[in-house]
Structure 1
Amino acid sequence: MPSLLKDVDALVYVDTDVVFLAPLEELWSHFYKMNSSHMAAMAPEHEDLATGWYNRFAKHPYYGKLGVNSGVMLMNLTRLHKLYVYGCEYNLRPDHCMYMSVCKAAEKRGVFVLHGNRGTFHSGKQPAFRAVYRAWEEYNLGQDLRQDLYYPMQRYLLKTSNTTCGKIHNAFLKALSSIVRLR
């Protein structure tokens, strides 16, 4: 990357199946938390040893106890070597709630970046992820965030409350609610 983007010091890489539920500045702020040797930042692949994929199945080396997921990655192109790991609320995937909720930070602080990997935005496998995507799909830039994005998303998510990911529907709304200033 540094050889391709010679005039770029830092960038955020995201998979195409990612939806931001909070301002990008919230994720970008992790650049200021990185030390002088961190070249990249990612969230853990999983939060639970009992259900983590890498620690149970991987035949190759991986980072830390549970590995990391590169679907949402901060890259400082001027540095080398170490990895900075940020919380799962910046890369929440179906793995974090498919059996039970394991991303406690998202429940407490809210989901900042939602990663609909494995086609979950477009399938019925994880209705809560589909609900968030549907609300974004129907929203047109310039419309009222509260009326035309937040409230439809809330309605769609409430319909999923009987699913494992739907049980934490408030976490999906928490960061967005601070933007639309609900009171």
Structure 2
Amino acid sequence: MHLALVACGNRLEEVITVIKSAVLFSIGKIKFHILAEDHLTPQLKKMMSEWPCFIRAKFQYDFYPITFPEQNNQLWRKLFRLCSAQRLFIPSILYDVDSLLYVDTDVVFLRPVDDIWGLLKSFNSTQLVAIGMEPNIPFGWYSSSARHPFYGVSGLNTGVMLMNLTRLRRTMLKNDLNAYGMFWEDLAHPLYQKYKNDIQWGEQDIINIIFHYNPEHVYALPCQWNYMSDHCTYGSHCQGAREEGVSILHGNRGVFHGNRLPVFQIVYEAIRDFPFEDKSLQSLFFPMQTELLKTVNDPCGQIYQVFLKQIEKRTTRSDI
């Protein structure tokens, strides 16, 4: 299983936490592809080297420098959040990787990577990527405010993307720039130039424009695999999470920090602080449950069980 993330700026803690969560729950081995600013690489290597041997045996990693096309380097580097546009160029940077799961740094896994990786087998012959929808409750940004084309009725949220890179590199993608189609690696800059005055969310908007014209290439990722605050702040709006539990928790808008949304912060900090040496997932589950029970008066706390379901399934295992 191949998992990619981009490490820039002050995201060191989040990067190590999402890696930790992926290793903590997963069954098979993971190969991490970490695209990082130079000053973060030695710190991340040091932190991972201090994990117990039985944990380090579960994963491998490669580091890559942050790389943008030379002629537009500063444009892409600062398009939205620092370096976040790097995800647009992963297919060409990781040219020898067949399939890949990309995640933002502000996510934590609550379920094995193996399970979302298995969705690659569910792709039909035309699908290239699995991406979740932007929540449309109480209203969606794209459906209410976007001035550019976007996917579906509410747009895509690109914080979690499962990609068949081989298919993506080979596919001619329809667009509104020419009548013949263009390859992924050639689309980003022309689309930016056309829509630069309308783009609000950087590379996510560009990806939405691409798949607006190519909807047959998208596998709609169930909401439990990219669960955000909007899924619970205005009532419970993710049926998959109610049935299966949250699989990947996405703390977008900074909700893992700053006491703005206690449920998200509790889950994030429990994983961040969990000592691998404890080995038993019960040592994670029961303290987390105790803290979540204190949030039942908050909108998301009213359905706190959805944040525990996947971890609870695994507490019967004798160790990690």
- Same fold (TM > 0.5): yes
CA offset at residue 47 of structure 1? Answer: 5.0
Asked if the contact 1:91–1:114 (Cα under 8 Å) also holds between the matched residues in 2, the reply is: yes
- Which of 238, 251, 268 in structure 2 is aligned with 1:133? 268
Q: Which has the higher helix share?
A: 2
Question: For the residues of structure 2 that align with 1:14 and 1:142, how far apart are their CA atoms?
Answer: 26
Indicate the residue corresponding to 1:176 in structure 2.
311
Asked if the contact 1:97–1:165 (Cα under 8 Å) also holds between the matched residues in 2, the reply is: yes
Indicate the residue corresponding to 2:294 in structure 1.
159
- Which of 93, 99, 103 in structure 1 is aligned with 2:238? 103
Matches within 5 A, 1:142-157: 142-157=277-292
Matches within 5 A, 1:1-183: 1-46=90-135, 48=137, 50-80=138-168, 82-181=217-316
Question: For the residues of structure 2 that align with 1:149 and 1:87, how far apart are their CA atoms?
Answer: 25
CA offset at residue 153 of structure 1? Answer: 1.1
Asked if the contact 2:282–2:315 (Cα under 8 Å) also holds between the matched residues in 1, the reply is: no
Amino acid in the other structure paired with 2:148: H
Amino acid in the other structure paired with 1:16: T
Q: Judging changes above 3 Å, is the alpha-carbon distance between structure 1 residues 26 and 148 closer, same or farther for their aligned structure 2 residues?
A: same
Amino acid in the other structure paired with 2:94: L
Question: For the residues of structure 2 that align with 1:3 and 1:52, how far apart are their CA atoms?
Answer: 32
Is there any run of 5+ residues in structure 2 with no aligned partner, and where? 1-89, 174-216
Question: For the residues of structure 1 that align with 2:106 and 2:246, how far apart are their CA atoms?
Answer: 15
| Aligned structure 1 segments of 4 or more residues deviating by more than 3 angstroms | 144-147
Q: Judging changes above 3 Å, is the alpha-carbon distance between structure 1 residues 47 and 56 closer, same or farther for their aligned structure 2 residues?
A: closer
Amino acid in the other structure paired with 1:65: V
Q: Secondary structure at the match of 1:51?
A: coil
Q: Calculate the TM-score normalised by the size of structure 1.
A: 0.92
CA offset at residue 107 of structure 1? Answer: 1.0
Q: Deviations over 1:106-149 (max 9, x none)?
A: 01110000001111111211110011012112201232333321
Mean alpha-carbon deviation: is it higher for 8-17 or for 37-46? 37-46
CA offset at residue 85 of structure 1? Answer: 0.8
Is there any run of 5+ residues in structure 1 with no aligned partner, and where? none
Question: For the residues of structure 2 that align with 1:58 and 1:67, how far apart are their CA atoms?
Answer: 9
Q: Calculate the TM-score normalised by the size of structure 2.
A: 0.54
Larger Rg: 2
Question: For the residues of structure 1 that align with 2:243 and 2:287, how far apart are their CA atoms?
Answer: 22
The size of the alignment, in residue pairs, is 181
Structure with greater contact order relative to length (CA < 8 Å, sep ≥ 6): 1
Indicate the residue corresponding to 2:24 in structure 1.
none
Question: For the residues of structure 1 that align with 2:147 and 2:233, how far apart are their CA atoms?
Answer: 24
Among all aligned residue pairs of Structure 1 and Structure 2, give the percentage whose two residues are the same amino acid: 46
Q: Secondary structure at the match of 1:43?
A: strand
Amino acid in the other structure paired with 2:311: L
Question: For the residues of structure 1 that align with 2:157 and 2:107, how far apart are their CA atoms?
Answer: 13
